[in-house]
Structure 1
Amino acid sequence: MFAVADVTDRSISDLVSLAGRTAVVTGAGRGLGKAIALRLAEAGAAVLVADIDLELARAAAADIVARGQRRATGIFMDVADTASVRAAADLAVSTYGSLDIWVNNAGIFPSLRVAEMTDQVWDQVLDINTRGVFVGSREASVRMMAAGHGGVIVNIVSTAGFRGVAPGLSAYVSSKHAVCGLTKQMALELAPHGIRVLGVAPTYCVTEGNQIAASQNPDRANTAADIPAIANSRLGRVGVPDDIARAVLFCASDMSIFMTGSTLLADAGETI
């Protein structure tokens, strides 16, 4: 049985530091993923910025490096393609020497009501949002177990993993409920190997992806009437990507070393 360290005597700055660790963040070309990659790099991690849009991934990695003394590489990854995910996991090890943190952030959220939902769209959402999390976690855990020094997997869930949300998101809500369960089960199976698995469940945040989705749906806008999370914030504002990135940094660092299997709600009190 792997026992996590007692970190009582370590300083806060040491506990937050990710120096000497390598992280992979999926869907990191923009939005939440990019913000997460930025914070992990700021804490000292070498980061593989993975995205299905290689140009976005490379631009995000360049932005990280430009901020000074930070290591980042932009790579292509399609989380629905196992070979692509496996190649990224191998690249993390070959480029930076280890794979210590894996953040499953990539996801899609097409809006189609149940009666209009096609098999194809349903399968696509589950392939990316749920199967993609499983495959990424599997490939990361295999390499973490082989190295024998543990690691952390962080799954970006959603408040949709705890409740129903806006009409048209049945596939998305189902996929995120599944990821909540998967987080718990993987935590059970991987704990003996020193691999912690945590989830972070954001409320609605202003991102490029959300703005694009709103522009493509003429029946919905970024208003409190259309997005309950805006009206239900108990903290006076809507979320921004860095609100979620800071929660992920906590999970990835030794600040949370005695936690596994939990999903942290970063929701401004929306689900109270």
Structure 2
Amino acid sequence: MSFPFPDVSNAPISELISLRGRCAVITGGAQGLGKAIAARFAEAGADLLLLDLDEERAHAAAEQLATRYGVKGLGARADISDTEAVATAADLAVAELGGIDIWVNNAGLFPNAPALEMPDVMWDQVFAVNSRGVFLGSREAARRMSAGGKGGVIVNTISTAGFQVAFPGMAAYVASKHAARGLTKSLAVDLAPLGIRVLGVAPSYVPTEGNIAAAREAAEAAALAGVEIPPVDVMTQSRIGRLGTPDDIARVVLFAASDLSLIMTGSTLLADAGETL
């Protein structure tokens, strides 16, 4: 069996890191990590489709990056847990941008509740987005990548919760991220013959709009249950003397999506400042 991955050993760094001529789809792309990833991709030359539940914010982010970096930028609303919505978004990328070369499954939910008090609906919602959504996005992207005959790269935002449990009340989130990490491995095996690489990036806590709100909600829920959650700066065991920034994570995702990481598939890169050592 022939695997369509070239040897790029003689390519210059500028060519290896470039995404010029490629189309990238990013879920949860309107703010936070998703927008930071989109900014680095646009700087590297990629055309963008940003998917988000907040359609207006997705449009605004895509327009801003397109203007700044001279690339094509589209924003669209998509519920990534809905099969038809994901397929429609993938078709939009093909129709408007010419195909899909990179798909980043970045959108996620981070609710918190003690296991004995967690309602079924919370568990189901977390898995619908953090696990099912990763599968749906990967499947629809891979179908169009393989149809285009060029292959591509799928990058999944995993979290250090795919490796460890930071504090109580994370049963749904931790389980969903372990599932996404396992899915990254399995998809890498299934898709390699099609020229598609699959990688995960696992950030520790990074202060974004969504993460700050989720951390606040987690602390409030824990307090009601009589459980104390330490402040973020205490529970994050950074070895570099600071919390990560969205751009810290975006640069790792850019590495994963570019030809710099061409030898890699199936791995999940810890972008955690050494937290999980």
TM-score, normalised with respect to structure 2 = 0.94
- Report the CA distance between 1:174 and its aligned residue: 0.2
1:249 corresponds, among 240, 251, 254, to 254
- Report the CA distance between 1:55 and its aligned residue: 1.3
Match of 1:164 in 2: 165
Match of 1:209 in 2: 210
**Which amino acid in structure 2 is aligned with residue 70 of structure 1?**
V
- Report the CA distance between 1:130 and its aligned residue: 0.1
**Which amino acid in structure 2 is aligned with residue 169 of structure 1?**
M
2:271 corresponds, among 251, 263, 266, to 266
For 1:244 and 1:100, the matched residues in 2 are separated by: 20
Q: Secondary structure at the match of 1:67?
A: helix
- Report the CA distance between 1:230 and its aligned residue: 5.1
For 1:199 and 1:151, the matched residues in 2 are separated by: 14
Identity in percent: 57
Q: Is the 8 A contact 1:203 1:229 kept in 2?
A: no
Match of 2:239 in 1: 234
**Which amino acid in structure 2 is aligned with residue 158 of structure 1?**
S
Q: Is the 8 A contact 1:187 1:261 kept in 2?
A: yes
Alignment of 1:35-46 (within 5 A): 35-46=36-47
Alignment of 1:72-151 (within 5 A): 72-151=73-152
For 2:234 and 2:139, the matched residues in 1 are separated by: 32
The 1:75–1:189 alpha-carbon spacing in structure 2 relative to 1, beyond 3 Å, is same
The 1:219–1:228 alpha-carbon spacing in structure 2 relative to 1, beyond 3 Å, is farther
Match of 2:226 in 1: none
Q: Is the 8 A contact 1:39 1:249 kept in 2?
A: yes
**Which amino acid in structure 2 is aligned with residue 236 of structure 1?**
G
Q: Secondary structure at the match of 1:111?
A: coil
**Which amino acid in structure 2 is aligned with residue 250 of structure 1?**
F
Q: Secondary structure at the match of 2:260?
A: helix
Comparing 158-167 with 224-233, greater Cα deviation is found at 224-233
Q: Is the 8 A contact 1:220 1:226 kept in 2?
A: no
**Which amino acid in structure 1 is aligned with residue 9 of structure 2?**
T
For 1:229 and 1:251, the matched residues in 2 are separated by: 29
**Which amino acid in structure 2 is aligned with residue 160 of structure 1?**
A
For 2:247 and 2:13, the matched residues in 1 are separated by: 20
**Which amino acid in structure 2 is aligned with residue 24 of structure 1?**
V
The 1:35–1:21 alpha-carbon spacing in structure 2 relative to 1, beyond 3 Å, is same
1:218 corresponds, among 220, 229, 243, to 220
Comparing 151-160 with 56-65, greater Cα deviation is found at 56-65
For 1:188 and 1:133, the matched residues in 2 are separated by: 16
Match of 2:56 in 1: 55
Give 5+ residue unaligned stretches, structure 2: 224-228
Match of 2:65 in 1: 64
Q: Secondary structure at the match of 2:104?
A: strand
CA root-mean-square deviation: 1.7
TM-score, normalised with respect to structure 1 = 0.96
For 1:210 and 1:125, the matched residues in 2 are separated by: 15
For 1:82 and 1:198, the matched residues in 2 are separated by: 22
Q: Is the 8 A contact 2:204 2:271 kept in 1?
A: yes
Q: Secondary structure at the match of 2:57?
A: helix
For 1:231 and 1:245, the matched residues in 2 are separated by: 19
Q: Is the 8 A contact 2:43 2:69 kept in 1?
A: no
Q: Secondary structure at the match of 1:50?
A: strand
For 1:231 and 1:122, the matched residues in 2 are separated by: 25
